Chains A and B, each alone.
Chain A
Amino acid sequence: MSAGTIMKVGRRGFLKTGAAGAAGLFVGFYLPGRMEALAASPAGAAPASLNAWMLISPDDTVKIMIDKSEMGQGILTALCMIAAEELDCDWKKIRTEFAPAAKEYFNPAFGMQGTGGSSSVRSSWDPLRKAGAAARDMLLQAAAKKWGVEKSACRAENGVIFHDATKRKLTYGSVAQAASMLPVPQDVPLKDPKQYRIIGNPTKRLDTPDKVNGRAEFGLDVRRPGMLYAVVQRCPVFGGKVASFDAAKAKAVPGVKTVIEIPQGIAVVADNTWTAMQGRRALDVKWDEGPNATLTSESISKLFAERTMQPGAEARKEGDTAAALSGASRKLEAVYEAPYLAHATMEPLNCTADVRADRVDVWAPTQFQTVAQATSAKICGLQPEAAFIHTTYLGGGFGRKAGVDFVSEAVEISKAIGAPVKLTWSREDDTQHDFYRPASYARMSGALGANGYPVAWTTRIACPSIMEAWFPGSTKNNLDPTSVEGVANLPYSIPNILVDYVRTEPGIPVGFWRSVGSSQNGFFSECFMDELATAAKKDPYEFRRHLLDKAPRHLAVLDLAAKKARWDSPLPAGHYRGIAVLFAFESYAAQVIEISVDRKAKTLKVHHVVCAVDVGQVVNPSTIVAQSESAVVYGLSSALYGNITIDGGRVKETSFNNYPVLRLDAMPIVEVHIVPSTEKPTGAGELSVPPVVPALCNAIFAATGKRIRRMPIRPEDLA
């Protein structure tokens, strides 16, 4: 094959291929730099590409291109497990590489390449299994052809193809090149789940070894030749901008190279990060604070309260709630509130950019590769194909790194100074310039019928719309599904239900925060459900059970959590528990949380959290357990401490001293139970966040008799 030929088969239609010596086909469609690296590799040592995800080398290593961002959720390992299951390759020979931004890697859930919404396993499940099965079929065909036998007489196992009749065998690596020349077969049968030898087995993460010796490269660890270091001073008030600035003192700091204005603020560029930070401290900037300068948390709460006096866009309407409420003997009303929250990933935002005349390279811990690509290209006046996105490991994401604000800044700076630059956000930058979990306000009402069970439920929510902020025009009738999820999908058999939403935009940037709308709406709905149970003088578990008669999967996780927590057995003296069950990301979760409260000291101890989850077919049970533990910690952090306070249009909190998160000494024992299932796989990474707050608050009610309707929990709530 001559250099530069375009292969014309199947998915590889766009792959550029070229010769690297007589024996060595290389397929170099994916990475800039890789072309050169492969060209420089010895003839015959280059990998052959069987599809966009799988490259097999003559030494039998199988490279899986990871097209989702690994931010701790274990997706790198899960994708390899899915691919390897159908490919039947040797697990020990798997290597990985993060995929570039390319259409091949679009997440069908989003129509772009990105990681979020607990969609990774769901969206890769079919494509990767099909790709693995097709690749295995091509390898079998190539081996059969080489031997001059029927493909049906051959079998593949653990990276080796056998012809049992003649006791011959060939490794994948030895036929990969021939296989890569074959047309991609369509509709190769997939395995029956009973045949799985990898999927469903608890499997150690492939990225652990590099995460115990400092080798894993996060965005902040990227180093490029000739790279400079930058920090940016942004207007502390949201929506404000630079009025004027004096850079003389900053420029006088030894090691500061330059100070420039970019659309996002003032960038200080130096020969190391610390010096850039010193330079920034010496900046004198006058801000035009803009229209948000008087906003406070109180004014926002007041605005929400006013807005909920008027009806909103109906998210769910069944029966006649007004009639049911007016006719009921026992009625309840309550107002719930949740604050803005920061993501607080351990790795602060950062990005390294190298803008050249004809291309821009970006190294970033990004969740949204193709948005980063389009944004970078636009800033540079280039076509998207000229923007090369190199995804690193993410030191936590939780939705924050779906934003590309940090990418834009780095590209702007590199473009302005004509050199590669690494932009670092300080922890303070990260806390004060987030896309926050929206603050939200909910008016709830419910009514009990003569039999003690609810006959009506209403919820009216006022909060900003994430979808309209990120994808303007994407919602219909001012109804953002993410603003009402966690309550609009209430699973209980209640004849009259009304959930409506009053979109309210105070002006604080909002974004996707682990579990999104369910993070606050789960609190509202499952705590109010407990209020109804109390009003009905019924056990909160039995009350829910009764109302889940049409929701078998909800019921199954609820029963499992209650059983494992021994709900019907007495607790140690002074211990109390609460329960909650929710649907999120197509999955089901229930939790029982056991606590004790020192009412005199106004302190709380969380002892034990029992999680039950149903995520359909499990790929890696070990990851499901880890993600559930992780979600519990994330939820507890929000319940116990999470509060972003707005004052003067800016965020008051700065770092882990005034925006605390759960630490190891407060970690409860967490146990996780998985419902066995052969249903299609569903979301797991965010699922167990939403039940935490309500289960915890319901436990506190059991301990104190006080309802907590506002997050976070304050000492006075425990008195």
Chain B
Amino acid sequence: MAIQFTLNGKPQTVDVNPNMPLLWVLRDTLGMTGTKLGCGISLCGACTVHIDGDATRSCVTPVSSVAGKKITTIEGLSTDRSHPVQRAWIEVDVPQCGYCQSGQIMTTAALLAKNAQPNDAEIDDALKGNICRCGTYQRIREAVHLAAKLAGAPAKKSARLDREEPVEQALAAEAMQVGGTL
């Protein structure tokens, strides 16, 4: 059955079993592997994409339900890693294994689109559905605040970050100087 939707700004038609979850249509049918399988039952957030702007678990979303809708995946967030969330993730050097980070970034991007200046509790609430086994949570929290700032929200104090020892920030600042290859 042909199903049409908008994928990263472009019209897309797929002819697949309508019950197939969007995750597998993206990964196997369309070859867009940035969206990950973590659990397949909406427990971990690795498969998060935006459907009409909402952070959604693609692993439990039948492709038939997205007909006519606008889907954004990690590949469509920006063409050049310029989205504020991506810039913040690079600046804070968040990823370790990186496998869950597509989901973390997509959840954060959806959060900031609705709440330009989330506080610590709102960040925890929005991101507690996204598991990271490498435990990058502390850097994720820092990067969400930074992304909000990069997106133009006025600076907001984080009780949590203020309480941290300066070592982490100092390291991040110094790390900028040695640089990476982009």
Decide if A72 touches B181 in the complex (CB within 8 Å): no
Q: Mark A220-260, 1 if CB is under 8 A from B, else 0.
A: 11010000010000000000000000000000001100000
Q: Which residues of A contact B34 (CB under 8 A)?
A: 213-215
Q: Mark A648-679, 1 if CB is under 8 A from B, else 0.
A: 00000001110001111101011111000000
Partner of A630, one of B37, B136, B177: B136
Given A221-B33, A622-B175, A665-B125, A212:B81 Cβ within 8 A: yes
Q: Mark A336-351, 1 if CB is under 8 A from B, else 0.
A: 0000000011111000
Q: Does A396 contact B (CB under 8 A)?
A: yes
Segment 98-153 of B: residues with Cβ below 8 Å from A? 98-102, 105, 123-125, 127-141
Decide if A274 touches B77 in the complex (CB within 8 Å): no
Decide if B33 touches A220 in the complex (CB within 8 Å): yes
Given A205-B95, A625-B168, A346:B90 Cβ within 8 A: no
B91 to chain A, nearest CB (A): 9
B107 to chain A, nearest CB (A): 10
Q: Does B5 contact A (CB under 8 A)?
A: no
B92 to chain A, nearest CB (A): 9
User: Closest A-chain residue to B134, C-beta based?
Assistant: A72
Q: Does A218 contact B (CB under 8 A)?
A: yes
Decide if A206 touches B124 in the complex (CB within 8 Å): no
B33 to chain A, nearest CB (A): 4
Q: Mark B31-47, 1 if CB is under 8 A from A, else 0.
A: 11111111111011010
Segment 387-419 of A: residues with Cβ below 8 Å from B? 393-398
User: Closest B-chain residue to A631, C-beta based?
Assistant: B135
Given A71-B97, A216-B98, A656-B43, A633:B28 Cβ within 8 A: no
Decide if B127 touches A664 in the complex (CB within 8 Å): yes
Q: Does B75 contact A (CB under 8 A)?
A: yes
Q: Does A275 contact B (CB under 8 A)?
A: yes
Decide if B20 touches A205 in the complex (CB within 8 Å): no
Decide if B96 touches A73 in the complex (CB within 8 Å): yes
Q: Does A208 contact B (CB under 8 A)?
A: yes
B148 to chain A, nearest CB (A): 16
Decide if B28 touches A229 in the complex (CB within 8 Å): yes
Decide if A204 touches B179 in the complex (CB within 8 Å): yes
Q: Which residues of A contact B174 (CB under 8 A)?
A: 201-202
Given A346-B99, A656-B131, A669:B140 Cβ within 8 A: no
Decide if B131 touches A661 in the complex (CB within 8 Å): yes
Given A214-B34, A630-B134, A671-B167, A395:B99 Cβ within 8 A: yes
Partner of B99, one of A218, A564, A625: A218
Decide if A665 touches B133 in the complex (CB within 8 Å): no
- Which among A198, A208, A216, A348 has the greatest number of chain B C-beta atoms within 10 A? A208
Q: Which residues of A contact B125 (CB under 8 A)?
A: 665
- Which among B17, B39, B101 has the greatest number of chain A C-beta atoms within 10 A? B39
Q: Does B73 contact A (CB under 8 A)?
A: yes
B27 to chain A, nearest CB (A): 7
Binds B, one of A88-96, A369-377, A483-491, A585-593: A88-96
A67 to chain B, nearest CB (A): 18
A62 to chain B, nearest CB (A): 11
Q: Which residues of A contact B96 (CB under 8 A)?
A: 72-74, 626, 630
Decide if A664 touches B140 in the complex (CB within 8 Å): yes
Q: Which residues of B contact A158 (CB under 8 A)?
A: none
User: Closest A-chain residue to B32, C-beta based?
Assistant: A214
Q: Which residues of A contact B123 (CB under 8 A)?
A: 664
Partner of B21, one of A274, A625, A629: A274
Decide if B141 touches A664 in the complex (CB within 8 Å): yes
CA distance A631 to B134 in the complex (A): 8
A85 to chain B, nearest CB (A): 12
Q: Which residues of B contact A655 (CB under 8 A)?
A: 39, 41, 43
Given A346-B46, A661-B133, A669-B138, A208:B93 Cβ within 8 A: yes
Q: Does A312 contact B (CB under 8 A)?
A: no
A104 to chain B, nearest CB (A): 25
Q: How many residues of A contact B (CB 8 A)?
A: 79
A57 to chain B, nearest CB (A): 14
Q: Which residues of A contact B167 (CB under 8 A)?
A: 625, 671-673
Decide if A208 touches B134 in the complex (CB within 8 Å): no
Q: Which residues of B contact A426 (CB under 8 A)?
A: 40
Q: Does A600 contact B (CB under 8 A)?
A: no
Decide if A393 touches B128 in the complex (CB within 8 Å): no
Q: Does B2 contact A (CB under 8 A)?
A: no
Decide if B99 touches A209 in the complex (CB within 8 Å): no
Partner of B180, one of A205, A223, A229, A347: A205
Q: Does B157 contact A (CB under 8 A)?
A: no
Given A209-B182, A626-B96, A629-B138, A345:B133 Cβ within 8 A: yes
CA distance A72 to B20 in the complex (A): 31
Decide if A395 touches B180 in the complex (CB within 8 Å): no
User: Closest A-chain residue to B79, C-beta based?
Assistant: A213
Decide if A626 touches B175 in the complex (CB within 8 Å): no
User: Closest A-chain residue to B34, C-beta based?
Assistant: A214
Decide if B175 touches A223 in the complex (CB within 8 Å): no
Segment 238-295 of A: residues with Cβ below 8 Å from B? 254-255, 272-275
Q: Which residues of B contact A273 (CB under 8 A)?
A: 24, 27-28, 37
Partner of B36, one of A203, A395, A634: A395
Partner of B41, one of A427, A631, A632, A663: A427
Decide if A94 touches B181 in the complex (CB within 8 Å): yes
Q: Which residues of A contact B131 (CB under 8 A)?
A: 346, 656, 661, 663
Q: Which residues of A contact B13 (CB under 8 A)?
A: none
Q: Which residues of A contact B33 (CB under 8 A)?
A: 214, 217-218, 220-221, 223
- Which among A212, A393, A669 has the greatest number of chain B C-beta atoms within 10 A? A212
Q: Mark A142-156, 1 if CB is under 8 A from B, else 0.
A: 000000000000000
Q: Does B55 contact A (CB under 8 A)?
A: no
User: Closest A-chain residue to B105, C-beta based?
Assistant: A212
B6 to chain A, nearest CB (A): 18
Given A214-B102, A274-B24, A664-B137, A223:B130 Cβ within 8 A: no
User: Closest A-chain residue to B121, C-beta based?
Assistant: A665
CA distance A72 to B136 in the complex (A): 10
Q: Does A168 contact B (CB under 8 A)?
A: no
Decide if B98 touches A72 in the complex (CB within 8 Å): yes
Q: Which residues of A contact B102 (CB under 8 A)?
A: 214
User: Closest A-chain residue to B180, C-beta based?
Assistant: A204
Q: Which residues of B contact A622 (CB under 8 A)?
A: 93, 171-172, 175
Q: Which residues of A contact B140 (CB under 8 A)?
A: 664
B87 to chain A, nearest CB (A): 9
Q: Does A424 contact B (CB under 8 A)?
A: yes
Q: Does A621 contact B (CB under 8 A)?
A: yes
Q: Does A207 contact B (CB under 8 A)?
A: yes
Q: Which residues of A contact B74 (CB under 8 A)?
A: 213-214
12 contacts between A and B (CB under 8 A): A72-B96, A91-B179, A202-B178, A204-B90, A208-B94, A213-B75, A223-B33, A564-B165, A629-B139, A655-B41, A662-B137, A671-B165
Q: Chain B: residues with CB nearer than 8 A to chain A?
A: 17, 20-21, 24, 27-29, 31-41, 43-44, 46, 73-75, 77-78, 81, 86, 89-90, 93-102, 105, 123-125, 127-141, 160, 163-165, 167-168, 171-172, 174-182
8 smallest beta-carbon distances between A and B, as pairs: A214-B34, A633-B135, A395-B99, A72-B97, A211-B98, A72-B96, A221-B33, A667-B137
